[in-house]
Structure 1
Amino acid sequence: MNTFHTSILSLALLVVSASLCNREQFVLFDKTFTFTKAEADNSKPSPSHVYVKGEMLNAERPQDWTSPVDYRNGTVHVRLEVLEKPVGGEPTTWSVCYIPNKRQNGGYGCIGTDVYQEAGVYEKDVDMTKFWQNDGIVWSEGIKEMHLVIKDNSGGQGHAHKRPDHEKFFPTKVRMTLIQVSEGAKYDPTLVPNFGPATQNRKQSSE
């Protein structure tokens, strides 16, 4: 084989390799936003919710999360960068809910960020088969939107807007990023653009 053909073959292998590598994970959404008490009160249809849909979701996300690449049995890397938070160190968390194109059982499923008390970067890996109501979604039909819900650390109904001391939660500014990782693969932060160093704290956990 001559040098020209060898170079073409090498280039083709690199392209295939890059393509396969990129299929191991994808960014579902990457959203930076400020959330005020007024916005939480007036969020429709549900208070304390931030709705991530339409152009805010990755348009190239797969329709089928089970095949040809299996994300349903993989993991999700949750990266929460808390940019601004009221003083006082009130424990805060976010429920992050997958809203499917086709429902079953409960009809949607939610993961949660770690509880945090101050600004910083908080990261965790969550098994896609172990979070709350993960079987309420027909994964072969894909995801149409995501709901982000700010809460205290008292449990599922601890919506921050209901607290009499709501000033401990609002206003806040965060950047939240979800990276879906296929079965058998490992999250690679070098494949995600525009991740700078942590602002103050960086915490890594897994579930």
Structure 2
Amino acid sequence: MKKLPVLIVLMLPLTLFAQTKQFVLFDQEFVYTKQDADNSTPSKSHYYVTGEKINPKRPKDWTAPVDYRNGTVHIRIEVKEKPAGNAPTTWTLCYIPNKGKGNGYGCTGTDVYTSTGVYERDVPMTSFWENESIIWEEGIKQMDLVIKDDSGGQGHAHKRADFEKFFPTKVRITMVQVAKGEQYDSSILTEK
């Protein structure tokens, strides 16, 4: 019996390490309509991941004791419903920090897709647009998801004359933050 507590103490660091090599920033499934895009505030075509939608246990400091800032983000989008027409579509995924500099936020995105299915990619946290405008030691307060066409930064889907090729849509978007030097492990995801 006296050896059991020692075994538990020896296993504790491994358990803590396993829990910190990656975490789900958010996992949201939602239907998004043209009306949702037109009426989202403060910006159109945005779906806001705030409050209980974003992981309340996310770290305050993304640089220490675990370095997520220099790791990767695993982006997974499951497109469950998409209008006919195979219009190239993407979602820009913007980190909104508690404290920023420069323009005050940074964005990465999903792959461009034309049909239903699952699309996944790993993105280095130091490679996406304006990632240096986030003070990572202060953490992330929310994520802004923006539905777009494949034309680039200003291609908001709600502005298109053929918006019916983009709306309504049903997606499940998941972002998993992976620590520097670690690999994404899909077992962290749950079925929906």
Instruction: Please say whether Structure 1 and Structure 2 have the same fold, judged by a TM-score greater than 0.5.
Output: yes
Code of the residue aligned with 1:63 in structure 2: it is K
Q: Which residue of 1 aligns with 2:59?
A: 62
Specify which of 94, 97, 101 is matched with residue 97 of structure 1: 94
In the alignment, which of 58, 64, 79 is matched to residue 76 of structure 2?
79
Instruction: After TM superposition, list the pairs within 5 Å mapping 1:96-175 onto structure 2.
Output: 96-175=93-172
Partner of 1:205: none
Q: TM-score, normalised by structure 2?
A: 0.97
Q: Percent identity?
A: 59
1:23 matched to which residue of 2?
A: 20
Figure out how many residues of one structure are paired with residues of the other and give that number: 192
Deviation at 1:89, TM superposition (A): 0.9
Question: 2:43 matched to 1:50?
Answer: no
Q: Is there any run of 5+ residues in structure 2 with no aligned partner, and where?
A: none
Per the alignment, in what secondary structure is the counterpart of residue 115 of structure 2? Answer: coil
How far is 1:19 from its partner? 1.3
Q: Specify the code of the residue in structure 2 equivalent to 1:17.
A: L
**RMSD of aligned alpha carbons:** 1.0
Distance 2:10 2:86 in 1: 51
TM (norm. structure 1) is 0.90
Structure 1: gaps spanning 5 or more residues: 196-207
How far did 1:10 drift? 2.0
What is the deviation of 1:194? Answer: 2.4
